[in-house]
């Protein structure tokens, strides 16, 4: 590793310690010995980093008394940036939740890095240009082979945020959707359900396959009947009308599992149709990242419903992981978050 890279990493690692310890101007930094072990670097490298931050006016070192924070990271003291690429097929826009974007912006800014969000539909010169002074990339959305091949050629630390196909050598933070569907199905079976239907999202939506396979795995394990009719893939057309036609065919079933987006359409269709269904309802998955006011209200008002829920945020974990990747240059491993069962959200 080049010397300059090592010092740049150490500088960022000191900023990270300051952020982790929530230091305010005037506060004293942890002793050097502790910093060395937390940053996993040599005393020489640490001292170079502290000197450089002292020159920038962020730290004040006083012989015998220690090192003090003089001022927080400001716009001017930021160096290097993180690129968040939201890759979407044309005409099919999806976005990270606003709260997650706030989090990432704050997380990296606080640690002395710019955070740049870019919406793209294909690999382009714009990305190459923006990637010039980039320390790391977070990838989100619809990732094609071609796109990934081009982006990987940039040789920048990168992490895929969210479920997508796996690309060799690129670490990912994703939800274990299969385990989630399995858990919800198991819970319904334990509650006495034998005939269960899964209303799944569109077949080309990446997590649909995992949802189906988790569901079928749990059904098979208990020797329960599952066939082509057990899993419905909804199109992106008028889902209300589709459900009007489909639901009556499943009146004799014991339980229904919905993908969260489909559950919304189901609720609206239910009110019109007065189906008066007696089935148990399961929903998979509910991710902490998408719990906004509306989702929260909706879910809270569903007391007899079983949720497969993820309590950790893929955006938080991916941010932490990308920083560690940048600071340590160590290869990262894909993380698959585990779901749990939740019988209605508890009060906040």
Nearer to a second copy by C-beta: 196 or 345?
Answer: 345
Strand partners for 61: 67
User: Is the backbone peptide bond immediately before 33 cis, with ω within 30 degrees of 0?
Assistant: no
- Write phi, then psi, for 298 (nearest 5 degrees): -65, -45
Q: Binding a second copy by CB under 8 A: which of 32, 130, 316, 324?
A: 130
- Which candidate, 70, 66, 7, 59, places its Cα nearest to that of 31? 66
Residue 89 found at the interface with a second copy (CB under 8 A)? no
Q: How far is the CB of 252 from a second copy (least distance, A)?
A: 18
Q: Binding a second copy by CB under 8 A: which of 238, 311, 329, 340?
A: 238
* 326 contacts 12 by C-beta, under 8 angstroms: yes
For β-strands 340-342 and 306-310, DSSP reports them as: antiparallel
Stretch that binds a second copy, among 6-14, 20-28, 184-192, 239-247 (CB under 8 A): 239-247
Nearer to a second copy by C-beta: 20 or 236?
Answer: 236
- For a second copy, the binding residues in 109-128 under the rule CB under 8 A are 119
Nearer to a second copy by C-beta: 179 or 288?
Answer: 288
Strand partners for 60: 68
- Which candidate, 302, 296, 233, 292, places its Cα nearest to that of 267? 302
194 CA to centre of own chain = 33
Contacts of 50 (CB under 8 A, 6+ apart): 14, 59, 61, 67
| 3-class secondary structure, 80 | coil
Residue 70 found at the interface with a second copy (CB under 8 A)? no
CA end-to-end span of the chain, whole Å?
48
Rounded to whole angstroms, the Cα distance separating 127 from 198 reads: 40
Q: How far is the CB of 229 from a second copy (least distance, A)?
A: 22
Nearer to a second copy by C-beta: 168 or 293?
Answer: 293
Please work out, in degrees rounded to the nearest 5, the angle formed at the alpha carbon of residue 111 by the alpha carbons of 107 and 112: 120
Rounded to whole angstroms, the Cα distance separating 18 from 118 reads: 28
Rounded to whole angstroms, the Cα distance separating 45 from 51 reads: 10
Q: How far is the CB of 324 from a second copy (least distance, A)?
A: 26
Q: How far is the CB of 145 from a second copy (least distance, A)?
A: 26
Q: How far is the CB of 148 from a second copy (least distance, A)?
A: 23
Stretch that binds a second copy, among 29-37, 46-54, 181-189, 236-244 (CB under 8 A): 236-244
The count of other CB atoms within 10 Å of the CB of residue 267 is: 14
Stretch that binds a second copy, among 1-9, 209-217, 262-270, 330-338 (CB under 8 A): 262-270
- For a second copy, the binding residues in 90-109 under the rule CB under 8 A are 93-99, 101-102
Q: Binding a second copy by CB under 8 A: which of 81, 111, 178, 239?
A: 239
How many residues bind a second copy, per CB under 8 A? 43
Stretch that binds a second copy, among 20-28, 157-165, 235-243, 250-258 (CB under 8 A): 235-243
Q: How far is the CB of 65 from a second copy (least distance, A)?
A: 28
Binding mask 289-328 for a second copy (x = CB under 8 A): ----xx--xxxxxxxx------------------------
Residue 79 found at the interface with a second copy (CB under 8 A)? no
């Amino acid at each position: 590793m080049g010397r300059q890279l090592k010092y740049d990493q150490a500088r960022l690692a000191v900023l990270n310690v300051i952020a982790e310890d929530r230091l305010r101007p005037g506060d004293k930094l942890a002793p050097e010995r502790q910093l060395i072990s937390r940053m996993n670097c040599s005393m020489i490298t640490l001292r170079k980093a502290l000197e450089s931050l002292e020159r920038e006016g962020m730290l004040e070192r006083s012989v015998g008394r220690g090192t003090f924070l003089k001022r927080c990271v400001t716009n001017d003291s930021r160096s290097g940036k993180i690129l968040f690429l939201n890759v979407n097929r044309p005409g099919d826009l999806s976005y990270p939740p606003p709260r997650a974007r706030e989090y990432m912006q704050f997380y990296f800014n606080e640690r002395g890095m710019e955070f740049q969000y870019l919406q793209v539909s294909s690999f382009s010169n714009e990305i190459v240009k923006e990637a010039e002074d980039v320390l790391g990339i977070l990838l989100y959305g619809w990732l094609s082979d071609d796109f990934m091949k081009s982006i990987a050629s940039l040789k920048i630390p990168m992490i895929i945020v969210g479920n997508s196909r796996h690309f060799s050598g690129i670490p990912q933070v994703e939800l274990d959707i299969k385990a989630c569907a399995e858990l919800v199905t198991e819970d319904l079976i334990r509650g006495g359900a034998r005939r269960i239907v899964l209303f799944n999202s569109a077949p080309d939506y990446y997590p649909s396959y995992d949802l189906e396979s988790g569901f079928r795995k749990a059904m098979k394990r208990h020797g329960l009947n599952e066939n082509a009719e057990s899993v419905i893939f909804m199109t992106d057309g008028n889902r209300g009308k589709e459900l009007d036609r489909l639901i009556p065919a499943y009146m004799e079933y014991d339980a229904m599992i919905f993908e969260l987006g489909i559950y919304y359409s189901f609720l609206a269709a239910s009110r019109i149709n007065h189906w008066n269904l007696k089935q148990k309802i399961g929903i998979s998955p509910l991710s902490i990242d998408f719990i906004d006011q509306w989702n929260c209200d909706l879910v809270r008002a569903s007391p007899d419903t079983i949720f497969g829920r993820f309590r950790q945020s893929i955006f938080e974990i991916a941010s932490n992981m990308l920083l560690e990747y940048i600071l340590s240059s160590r290869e990262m491993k894909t993380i698959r978050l585990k779901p749990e069962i939740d019988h209605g959200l508890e009060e906040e």
